[in-house]
Amino acid sequence: MKNSVLSILLYFSIIILLMACGNEDEKTNSDAGSDDSAEIAADESEQADENEDDEQTEVESESEDDSALPADIPSDFPFPEGASLDVTESEVSGAKAYTVAFQFDVDPESFYEQLKEYATNNGYSIAIENDEKTRFSANSSTGGLVVDFTIMESVSIATITFTIL
C-alpha cells in the first residue's frame, strides 16, 4: 500500500515539475491566432535568410588565403600550404584572442615538433605539454599560444589560439 501511494505521489510530482518548466509565453495551437502564425512564418523566413548570409560569409572567408589573416597573427607562422583556415576573433579579459582551425595532411608528430620549435624560436616558453604530444601551451611577454591537435582515423585537425596582450 505504501509503495502504491509513494508511486502516485512521485507521478504527480513529476507532472507538476514538467508543467512548471513550461514557458508562460508559449501558446498551444488552438490559442494561436492566424496573426501569430503569420509572424512565426515571417520570423522563420528572416532566420533562413540570415543563415544563408552566414553560410555565404563563411564560404567567402574559407576561400581567402593566408594574406587575409589578422595583422596580430604572425605572418611567418608555419601553417600548412593550401590549408583552409577558419579564423575566429574574441576578447578575453581585455586581451585579443584569435583561434585558427584547419585540417592538415602532414605527419602530426613532425608538424607538432615544427610548431613547438617555432614557439621556442620566437620567444615563447612552453608552459604545459601533454604526454600524447597533441597539445601545448606557451607564453611570451606579448601574449600566449595554444596548439591543440585532434587526430582521428582519417582526419587531423589543428586549433591554434593566439592571445595578444
Mean pLDDT of 55-64: 41
The closest alpha carbon to 84, from 73, 97, 100, belongs to: 100
- pLDDT value at residue 76: 95
- pLDDT value at residue 6: 56
Domains of the chain as residue ranges with CATH: 63-75+83-164 (3.30.530.20)
- pLDDT value at residue 92: 81
Q: Cell triple for residue 104?
A: 592538415
Residues 6+ apart with CB under 8 A from 35: none
DSSP string of 1-17, one letter each residue:
-HHHHHHHHHHHHHHHH
Residue 33, helix vs strand vs coil: coil
Maximum average pLDDT range among 2-6, 20-24, 100-104: 100-104
The closest alpha carbon to 162, from 149, 148, 150, 146, belongs to: 146
Identity of the residue numbered 16 = I
- pLDDT value at residue 96: 95
pTM, two decimals, is: 0.59
- pLDDT value at residue 157: 96
